[in-house]
Amino acid sequence: MSNHVRTQLLDYLACPNCETETPFDVQANASQDDGDIVSGTLTCQSCQCVYQIRDGIPRFVSLDQDYCRNFGFQWKRWRTLQIDRLSGHSLSTDRFFADSEWSPSSLEGKVILDAGCGAGRFADVAAAHGATVIAVDISDAIDACQETTAVHGERVHCLQASLLNLPLRPMILDAVYCMGVIQHTPDPAAVVRSLPSYLKPGGQLAYNFYEEGIWRCLQIIKYALRLITPHLSVSKNLALSQFLVGLFFPLTRRLAKVPKVRIINHFIPIASVHNAQLSTDDQRAWTLLDTLDWYGARYEKRQHHEDVATQLHDLGMAAVRSRPGLAWATKPEK
């Protein structure tokens, strides 16, 4: 059920090398009875670039372009942890609708890009509400997303590709969301500026990102450690994160219960998660996942929301709004 490229996805694709919309020449080494492809190649009929389809996912990045192997590792290891449907909480659903400001009923029948999907926590929510989701990630987190969202069948299409060079045709999408990704790319402004081009007129955009500001001062130990950690292997960062979480989690958990004192948690160098919907074991697992995310990411380029809004304005986007960590816009009707 899971590992095949749905032929419908081919209608959305364009060559990321020459950007022509000529259909790909599709070579299937293995396909299903319904024609969906498990493995094979896509060859651009214009520039002759060849892209692999492996495990049912078209791959538009080579190993050396993937600077996010830490994310591939973390999303495979904790694939189900943040998926509401599989973990018995509603944290991803709550965050998706709070951050996008879209209503659940508005998603039905929409074609939506999940830009930097990770393990697919939000793709799973959007598909469950009737959207068709194109889920894209640069790392092999995309394999985790494919496994997570297989249950939605044709509602989710997975692609391994970079947001800085997307293999998509312009103006095919009703909406784009990009949650927790922009700051982890080498050129956040380029991502902010590129995604609107895939929206249809009237299409909506929601960005969530790390805000620049006070956090860098509060998290002084984190940023001191990050002078080194992006250069370490995933296994060393995992060992460091396990050590820090083992040391500090019991303390942050106790502090989190005391309203005026819990601010202290911001100085402690773990990404502590204490939410009443989660068991203590799950709080510890989320904390370890998020702590590894902090230390393992190659890039962490915090953004000023006013700058993100200005970039969207300058593109001619309408209804641009922003507040710390969030920005929204609509593509103008012609």
Ligand X SMILES: C[S@@+](CC[C@H](N)C(=O)[O-])C[C@H]1O[C@@H](n2cnc3c(N)ncnc32)[C@H](O)[C@@H]1O
Interface positions with Zn ion (CB under 5 A): 15, 17-18, 44, 46-47, 49
> What single string gives the DSSP state of each residue in 82-107?
T-HHHHT--HHHHHHHHHH---GGGG
Nearer Cβ to ligand X (164/264) = 164
Contact residues for 121 (Cβ-Cβ < 8 A; gap 6+) = 82, 83, 84, 92, 148
Helix (H, G, I), strand (E, B) or coil at 219: coil
Among 131, 293, 296, 309, binds ligand X (CB under 6 A): 293
Q: For residues 52 and 59, is the Cβ–Cβ distance under 8 A?
A: yes
Site string for ligand X, 219-248 (x = CB under 6 A): ------------------------------
Residues within window 44-63 making contact with ligand X, judged by CB under 6 A = none
Q: Please report, as residue ranges, which positions from 159 to 218 form the binding site for ligand X (by CB under 6 A).
A: 162-164, 179-181, 184-185
Using CB distances below 5 to 8 A depending on partner kind, what does residue 138 bind out of ligand X, Zn ion, none?
Answer: ligand X
d(CA 187, CA 123): 24
Stretch of 83-91, 132-140, 211-219, 235-243 lying at the interface with ligand X (CB under 6 A):
132-140
Nearer Cβ to Zn ion (21/306)? 21
d(CA 12, CA 46): 17
Binding of ligand X at residue 84 (CB under 6 A)?
A: no
Nearest distance from C-beta of residue 77 to ligand X, angstroms: 13
Number of residues assigned to the chain: 334
261 binds, among ligand X, Zn ion, none (CB under 5 to 8 A by kind): none
Region of residue 316 (left: phi > 0; alpha: psi -120 to 50; beta: else): left
